[in-house]
A and B are shown apart, each in its own frame.
Chain A
């Protein structure tokens, strides 16, 4: 089991901030002068931590700093982190697109990377020609591609258009074809960056299924970067969390996802007031979830209060809906006044109204949830005003009996078990 296939040792990457201009020549000369005398690059000693929200003193920044980890043969590892944490930089270094500033990477296998689907696709070439070109760019030989050609075309579902230039393809079809080529790569180590967020539902399912085949069925070593936490959990065994260029957590995929979500979450609240949230149609004054209670438990009803003011006269009915999302951006349910035949919201303007919405025992599992608020006119799909993540709240566990065993899902239903 101790068969290490990829070893990353003290890898760091430094970037220069700002534009590259005349200042660069002087730095280049200084570097050259130091190296001539056999000294270390003077600019490697400086550099700020990679945090895009703070202004640093230095012209140089460390996008990655002293990254160490190992991949075992057959291991499927996820790298997660917020934007700018250094995930893509790490993948770029691993796929030899750019070199590390310091440190080294040792590999026992061929690495193929999928940082983008359809790299090198030429719009004037036909689908078939592009399969060959793209396959060769990804490191396959012509023979390998030819032997898998039928499977690739079949998987892409583009048989009919395979001899048409890809510029006539819809963007979805191009992506399907490109993913199909990539899916049949057979390297020892596969590096994948966020390519699952493509295509329609059916194809995404197919793609995730294929990825599962690759990682479990074929025992391939895979390094996977994604913001799709569901995909990470379902595809990977282990994970590391990157933050500001450093590894801040290692563990199983589930632990890593939990760590990441906990550390990167929006603050939870039970009541929020707003000074100027709204547009010329409506103004939202405040929102609250179970304001009077100390904490929200699994078994509680949810009591949503929205304080708002209509600003524009209209004779159409006005409805407000609240959509509940899990941490992993899954929609759990969407409820609102639109369900009743007559909207309880009155059309008077410039007077604040209070909407009270009670959701009886939704049985939300332990976790953090966010609400998307929409104000619609005439029950239409088009919102006059909407806010994503208007408020986030945390559900805690109050069911401490032995009977209760917490499950992984979003809903924690009340169950009765009988054996006869």
Chain B
């Protein structure tokens, strides 16, 4: 016991009641990278097992939503999408919005859905939401393919659409969308462990958010009709991402760098808070979930 101080230095790790504010052990997460990929594989492989249409479901859902949106918003409500075919306009918005939506909804349920595993084994909890964001990327990829198919189809029909030079920013936009879903999802997931009300809120909150994110209308339309409240939509980072993606793919608007900086900043702030809150609740959530 004389060399007590010497022994103390050797501890590999220590478990204490309090967490540091930002306790993201990246080295530990890295050592669990195999688990991350196995979770992604599990999600992908098992998603549509024992369904007849299988991955086709990935396609059916955005296609039908686009058709409905085109009928309601463009044909009935007469929202103009300029020179772009309304169907393609909606499909672009829905494809990228869907990625956010699926990232957000599945991460926001992390703790409740995985209480069984989390209650028995320790691994860095953040692996779970990360795997969700990655496996949803694959789904997004498939939906992007169907979008490309329609893109080529409308292009061959002579629609006035073209890619802009900013298309190289497309992966960055997807990344922002994923991180935003991850960050928000982690914040919500931590709250849900204690107060289930939040989960109900998420359901219709997302629906409202979609209307405020310029998914089925161009932002210019909103500004024109409701200039007083346009800021709600304009300051929404989702709006920027959706607008820019449509802009770069369909050549309807220019890329706004100042808004890009703003959206990136907001995303990082949300992600930062998401990680802090997630870390804070991961230690003891199993007692309350």
Contact = CB atoms under 8 A, between A and B. Distances in A.
A410 interface: no
Interface string B11-31: 111111101000000000001
Given A105-B14, A113-B121, A141 B34 contact: yes
Interface residues of B, number: 38
A124 interface: yes
Contact of A139 (B12, B45, B116, B123): B123
B15 A105 contact: yes
B121 A95 contact: yes
Interface stretch (A96-104, A156-164, A277-285, A385-393): A96-104
Contacts of A103: 16-17
A20 interface: yes
B118 interface: yes
Contact of A136 (B19, B34, B286): B34
Interface string B114-152: 001111111100000000000000000000000000000
Interface string B26-65: 0000011011011101100110011000000000000000
A4 interface: yes
A4 B17 contact: no
A119 B117 contact: yes
A107 B12 CA distance: 6
Contact of A116 (B34, B120, B122): B120
B12 A108 contact: yes
Contacts, number: 103
Nearest to A136: B35
B256 interface: no
A122 interface: yes
Contacts of A129: 41-42, 45
A325 interface: no
B224 interface: no
B194 A24 contact: yes
A133 B194 CA distance: 29
Given A115-B120, A115-B121, A136 B38 contact: yes
A361 interface: no
A113 B119 CA distance: 11
B15 A99 contact: yes
B284 interface: yes
A50 B113 CA distance: 30
A101 B17 contact: yes
A103 B19 CA distance: 13
A148 B211 CA distance: 53
A99 B284 CA distance: 6
A106 B123 contact: no
A99 B35 contact: no
A97 B194 contact: no
A104 B16 contact: yes
Interface string A251-276: 00000000000000000000000000
A354 interface: no
A133 B12 contact: no
Interface string A289-324: 000000000000000000000000000000000000
Given A122-B42, A124-B49, A136-B35, A106 B14 contact: yes
A119 B122 CA distance: 11
B288 interface: yes
Given A119-B121, A124-B45, A133-B42, 8 more contacts: A93-B15, A97-B286, A100-B16, A113-B120, A119-B117, A125-B45, A129-B41, A137-B117
10 contacts: A95-B122, A97-B121, A99-B284, A104-B14, A105-B16, A119-B120, A119-B121, A122-B46, A124-B50, A132-B38
